Amino acid sequence: MLKFLTHRVLLMIPTLIGVSIIVFLMLQIVPGDPVDSIVPVDASKEVRAQITEQLGLNHPLYIQYVDWLMRSLHGDFGQSIVRQLSVNALLFPALLNTLILALGAGIFAFVISLVIGVYSAYKPKSWLASIGNLIGLTGISIPNFWAALILIGIFSVLFGWLPPIGMKSSVNGGSFADVFYHIIMPAVAAGMTTLGVMTRMVRSAVFDLLHQDFVQTLQAKGLKPFRILLHVLKNATPNLLTVAGLQLGYLIGGSVLVETVFAWPGIGQLIYQSVSQRDYPIIQAGVLIVSVIFILLNLIVDLLHSIIDPRVRGS
């Protein structure tokens, strides 16, 4: 197990270096001098030079990269250019908010997909299975930002039941109930794709397993259907886990559109805003952190996978 772990972690290192290089270089393509975005016209040459130096932009590219990487490794992502605040102070609260949303969306999608997926695998001709079909297809086809607008249209505009924006009430907000109340629509919208993918996945995985020999043996042995289901689920777990882990990763990195529509103060929205403001330090740190989380999540999934199914370790 330890060997497997070391092997996987070692493999991660070149990937991480690659990611950091891409993140760093991506912004070098962006046209325009970042100094322009802070220094007004009237500023003197000295002021310009001072700021250029402050940002370390006077050094060659590779030094800038190593410099940036070293500072990042120490957890120092520098100052936001536009907001003039430390990147950490902006990034980590936003990251937490995104994790909350991703978790909400994940729970919504996983629970429903599991129930419907399993049921429709058992009774493929039932009407619930047709709904499962519909959900699966809708989920993978619907643009989540559009789903978000429809939800707002129905539950905020038409009925006035749910708050259309934000994560908490502006005054005295922030209690669990308050956040829960605000998260419902964003979670449903963001979780839509995952719901679709997972429903299809669960259904086909369980369906395949149900038609395998061991299930028939178990049935012949006279096991109760519920116990059989547990066996089936146990066998389906490794695959489902992999997909679920990946999906959680997508939810963390991919809810930028939903965050934008609902004004959810998450990392996707932060990165997107920073992109339009050319706020390089935030973009770099944000994309880097999300990618690292993404990679770690994959690692965790692999580890869990190998614990449940030791055969994986060999490969």
Partner 1 sequence: MRSKKIRCVALLIMIMSLFIFTGCGTNSLGSSSSTSQTLVIGMSASNIPTTDVSPSEGYEGWRFVGFQLYEGLTKWNLTQSDQPAEVEPGLATSWEVSKSDPTLWTFHLRKGVVFHDQTPFNADAVIFNLNRVHNSKSKYFNPTLAGGLSTSLKYIKDYKKIDEDTVQIKTKEPYSSLPYDLTQVVFASPTAIKKYGKDYQEHPAGTGPFKFKSITKGQELVLEKNEDYWGNVPKLKQLVLLPMPDASTRLAALKSGDINWAEVPPSEAIKQLKKDHYQVLENEYPHNWAYVLNLNEKPWNDKRVRQAANYAINREGLSKALLNGAATPATQVDYPGSTWYSDDAIQYKYDPKKAKELLKEAGYPKGFKTTFMVPTSGSGNMWPIEMNEYIQKNLKAVGINVTIEAVEWQTLLNQYLSGFPKDNSVGAINISLPTNTPMIFDRYFSTRSKFPNGSNIGGYSNPKVDQYIQKATGTFDTAQRDKEVQQAAKLIAEDAPWIFVAHDLNLRVLAPDVQGFVQPQSWFADLTTVSINQQNK
Partner 2 sequence: MLNESELTNPSLLSNEIKEDSLLKKVWLEFYKNRIAFIALIVLGIVVLSCLLAPLIAPFGPLDGEITDRLLPLGSTGHILGTDEQGRDMLTRVLYGGRLSLYAGFLPVVISIVIGGALGVIAGYFGRILNTIIMRTLDIFYSFPAILLAIGISAALGQGINNIVISISIIFIPPVARVAESAVKGVREEEFIEAAKSSGAQSISIIRYHVIKNIFAKVFVYGTTQISISLVLASGLSFLGLGVSPPTPEWGIMLNNLKGQIFINPLVTIIPGLFIFITALTINLVADGLRDALEINS
Contact residues: partner 2, CB under 8 A: 14-16, 18-19, 22-23, 26-27, 29-31, 137-138, 140-146, 149-150, 152-153, 157-158, 249-250, 252-254, 256-257, 260-261, 268, 271-272, 275-276, 283, 287, 290-291, 294-295, 298
Does residue 202 touch partner 1 according to CB under 8 A? no
> Please, are residues 187 and 101 in contact by the beta-carbon 8 Å criterion?
yes
Question: Residue 10 touches which of partner 2, partner 1, none (CB < 5 to 8 A by kind)?
Answer: none
Provide the residue type at 314 as one letter: G
Question: Residue 188 touches which of partner 1, partner 2, none (CB < 5 to 8 A by kind)?
Answer: partner 1
DSSP at 86: B
Residues 6+ apart with CB under 8 A from 126: 119, 120
Nearest approach in angstroms of CB 267 to partner 1 is 10
DSSP at 36: G
Instruction: Return the residue of 164, 249, 253, 281 that touches partner 1, per CB under 8 A.
Output: 164
Does residue 180 touch partner 1 according to CB under 8 A? yes
> Please, are residues 271 and 94 in contact by the beta-carbon 8 Å criterion?
no
Instruction: Return the residue of 163, 186, 249, 286 that touches partner 1, per CB under 8 A.
Output: 163
Question: Residue 291 touches which of partner 1, partner 2, none (CB < 5 to 8 A by kind)?
Answer: partner 2
DSSP one-letter string for 147-179 = HHHHHIIIIIIIS--S-SS-SS-TTT--SHHHH
Does residue 43 touch partner 1 according to CB under 8 A? yes
- Cα–Cα distance list, 171 to 175, 199, 203, 262 (Å): 11, 39, 44, 18
**Among the residue ranges 61-69, 150-158, 208-216, 230-238, the one whose residues contact partner 1 (CB under 8 A):** 150-158
The Cα 199–Cα 134 span in angstroms is 10
Helix, strand, coil in percent for the chain, rounding step 5: 75, 0, 25
Nearest approach in angstroms of CB 101 to partner 1 is 14
Block residue for tokens 């891409």 = 22
Within 228-287, the residues that bind partner 1 by CB under 8 A are 263, 265, 270, 273, 276-278
Does residue 220 touch partner 1 according to CB under 8 A? no
Question: Residue 203 touches which of partner 2, partner 1, none (CB < 5 to 8 A by kind)?
Answer: none
Question: Is 116 or 240 the residue whose CB approaches partner 1 more closely?
Answer: 116
Instruction: Return the residue of 74, 177, 220, 314 that touches partner 1, per CB under 8 A.
Output: 177
The Cα 10–Cα 294 span in angstroms is 16
Backbone angles phi, psi at 86, to 5 degrees: -70, 140
Distance from CA of residue 29 to its chain's centroid?
A: 26
Block residue for tokens 């419907």 = 116
Does residue 103 touch partner 1 according to CB under 8 A? no
The token pair that represents 97 in the structure block: 């908010």
> Please, are residues 305 and 8 in contact by the beta-carbon 8 Å criterion?
no
Residue environment code for 72-91, b if the CB has 16+ CB neighbours within 10 A, otherwise e: beeeebbbbbbbeeebeebb
Instruction: Return the residue of 99, 166, 229, 313 that touches partner 1, per CB under 8 A.
Output: 166
Question: Is 158 or 171 the residue whose CB approaches partner 2 more closely?
Answer: 158
Taken in order 180, 184, 186, 187, the sign of the CA dihedral is positive
Question: Is 228 or 293 the residue whose CB approaches partner 2 more closely?
Answer: 293
Give the residues lining the site for partner 1 (CB under 8 A). 36-44, 46-47, 50-51, 82-85, 89-90, 93-94, 108, 112, 127, 130-131, 134-135, 152, 155-156, 160-167, 169-173, 177-178, 180-181, 184, 188, 263, 265, 270, 273, 276-278
